[in-house]
Amino acid sequence: MSITAESSNHRTRLAAATRRRRRISFDMVAHVAALMDIVLILASTVAAVTLYHHLMFGITGDPSMNFGVGILTAVIFVLAMASMRAYSYDSMASMRRQMLLILFLFPTILAFVLAIVFFLKLGESFSRGAILYFTLLSMLTLAGMRFAMYRWIAPALASSLLRPRKAFLICPRELPAERLQQLLHVGSAQAVSFALLPDDDISAEQLKDRLAGLDTRSGIDEIIVIWRDGNANQLEDLLIAIGRLPLPAKIVFDNLIGSVASCPRAQFGKLSAFQVQSAPLAPAERLVKRIFDIAVAAIALLLLAPMLLLVAIAIKLDSSGPVLFLQRRLGHDNEPFRIVKFRSMSVMEDGDCVNQATVADPRITRVGAFIRAYSIDELPQFWNVLRGEMSVVGPRPHAVAHDNLFDPLISEYASRRHVKPGVTGWAQVCGHRGETPTVELMAKRIQYDRWYIDNWSLWLDIKIVLQTFISLRGH
């Protein structure tokens, strides 16, 4: 046999092997993951009883009683995970989401099951030590399995071992290429064919014939529509054409409608409403946030007092002028206040024109360059927090001159003052801190501020404080 023939046969075998590997769909992986959850929880039940009794009493324990708890916990856990779409590709590809679900969902379900057991007066048949072992073993094995699958998914997709869902994509012709790539980054789906609209006014029948042909030849799994046009009649015709096919379909609204549809939804009878703006914090939420602010600010000022004294001395020795710099800012509901900062520049601008500091700005003093790099100049603002003018976490307040500049240029700018300004904020820990020389950069910061206002929680404030500390430490 010639070398060419052997090479051809090798390519044929390789192509056949690749086709065989591609038979593994992510739906199958999701089913295996759910089954493995049940197996691991049941195995942990047996192992926990055996290990606990062997270590504590030197005997072999009987896992039969605990086995019932394990079965009930496993079934409820898998059903709860499935209801939260935890077995979808996007969820399985997020290690953080999987760990949080295991960390909070499993103990909650186990506590519910044990409450039922004790309510039925069966608690005397169970060992609390074995239950503790069972909890730890289950969470460790579930986390280990998730980590293994997380490390396996990406290489499996790259090597075609895991077959992505084949999608037929319908999108606008004028959609930018980079935006298209962003919308297609869904991991488990792969666009194998396109229909660009408008494309010589493709009729519903033509689209139906094209979809049916692709379904027959390529095994299309779903249809994805990216819609930017406001023509409801055209969209209705398109949905009618898609509705004739036995395929799942998704619509991505890549415009204002998409922004509204991503907002939290509420029901008014049979009608759905989207909350496009959150109300100010409820009284109980404001109380929780205020207690958090006072505690953090008081502890920070107490612990940092020696360093603040050294910084004050360094500023005084480095350049002439006061140690502290007071500047007008607008707080919650446009209430004016004087923000307190360490002076880091040779000027103290607080008029109708305030120039933002830039890299290598000659107005910045030697000590000022250091304290600005590590945000030490912001630490006196904890005094503003104690006074109730600011919060530990919130949108960073800008100079009044900058407010007057950007307010008419950015429609959502004023909405950031729905809450108290913060010493640190969500925009800052996400990389939008420092100079904002363009309207686009400021608008991006406002988007993060709006997201924080709409999604506030105490845990989010704690997360931002920790991320602020980590980012400054890394810097």
What is residue 236's predicted lDDT score, i.e. its pLDDT? 79
Residue 118 confidence (pLDDT) above 50: yes
3-state secondary structure of 350: coil
Question: Who's near 70: CB < 8 A, 6+ residues apart?
Answer: 41, 42, 44, 45, 46, 134
Inter-residue contact 252 to 279 (CB < 8 Å): no
pLDDT band at 296; cut points 50, 70, 90: very high
pLDDT of residue 6: 39
Asked whether residue 342 carries a pLDDT value surpassing 60, the answer given is yes
**Would you place residue 338 in the very low, low, confident or very high pLDDT band (cuts 50, 70, 90)?**
very high
475 pLDDT higher than 60: no
pLDDT in tens, 353-373: 666 666 667 788 888 888 888
Give the contacts of 426 (CB within 8 A, at least 6 positions apart): 393, 448, 449, 451, 452, 460, 464
Contact predicate 71/149, CB 8 Å: no
305 to each of 55, 193, 343, 379, 456, how far by Cα in Å?
51, 64, 17, 10, 30
Number of neighbouring beta carbons within 10 Å of residue 215 = 17
- Which residue would you say has higher pLDDT here, 8 or 413? 413
pTM of the full structure:
0.52
Cα separation of 98 and 89, whole Å?
Answer: 11
- Sorted by where each begins, the domain ranges of the chain are 24-158, 164-262, 283-474
Using pLDDT thresholds of 50, 70 and 90, give the confidence band for residue 305: very high
pLDDT at 2 over 60: no
Q: Give residue 379's region: left, alpha or beta (phi > 0; psi -120 to 50).
A: alpha
Band (27; pLDDT cuts 50, 70, 90): confident
Q: Do residues 254 and 175 lie in contact, with contact meaning Cβ atoms separated by under 8 Å?
A: yes
| Plot region of 388 (φ>0 → left; ψ -120 to 50 → alpha; else → beta) | left
Q: Which two tokens stand for residue 187?
A: 């991991």
d(C-alpha 397, C-alpha 424), whole Å: 10
Q: Residue 432: its pLDDT value, please?
A: 79
Residue 64 has pLDDT above 70, yes or no: no
* Rounded CA Rg of the chain: 30
Contacts of 359 by beta carbon, 8 Å cutoff, 6+ apart: 435
d(CA 72, CA 90): 27
> For residue 9, is pLDDT > 60?
no
Write the pLDDT tens digit of every residue in 207-258: 666 666 655 455 677 788 887 766 677 777 778 777 767 777 888 887 667 6
pLDDT of residue 373: 82
Q: Which single residue is written with the structure tokens 């009987």?
A: 62
Considering only residues 284 and 244, tell me which one the structure prediction assigns the higher pLDDT: 284
**What is the per-residue pLDDT for 11?**
43
Instruction: Specify burial of residue 110 (Cβ count, 10 A radius: 0-12, 13-18, 19+).
Output: buried
Give CA 306 to chain center in angstroms.
38
Q: What is 164-262's CATH number? A: 3.40.50.11460
Interacting residues of 18 by C-beta distance below 8 A, sequence separation 6+:
160
Q: What angle do CA 64, 69, 70 make, to 5 degrees?
A: 85
8 A C-beta contact, residue 439 and residue 413: no
**pLDDT of the residue at 391:** 95
Tell me the C-alpha distance between 216 and 473, whole Å: 57
Q: How far apart are CA 7 and CA 76, in angstroms?
A: 53
pLDDT band at 302 (very low <50, low <70, confident <90, very high): very high
Tell me the average pLDDT across 65-91: 83
Model confidence at 188, in pLDDT bands (50, 70, 90)? low
Q: Which residues contact 50 (CB under 8 A, 6 or more apart)?
A: 60, 61, 63
| The predicted structure's pLDDT at residue 239 | 80
Helix (H) or strand (E) holding 216, with range, is: helix 204-218
> Taking 60 as the threshold, does the pLDDT of residue 267 lie above it?
yes
Examine the pLDDT at 19 and tell me if it is beyond 90. no
- 467: which 2 tokens? 């991320």
Site of tokens 């959150």: 278
DSSP letter, residue 365: -
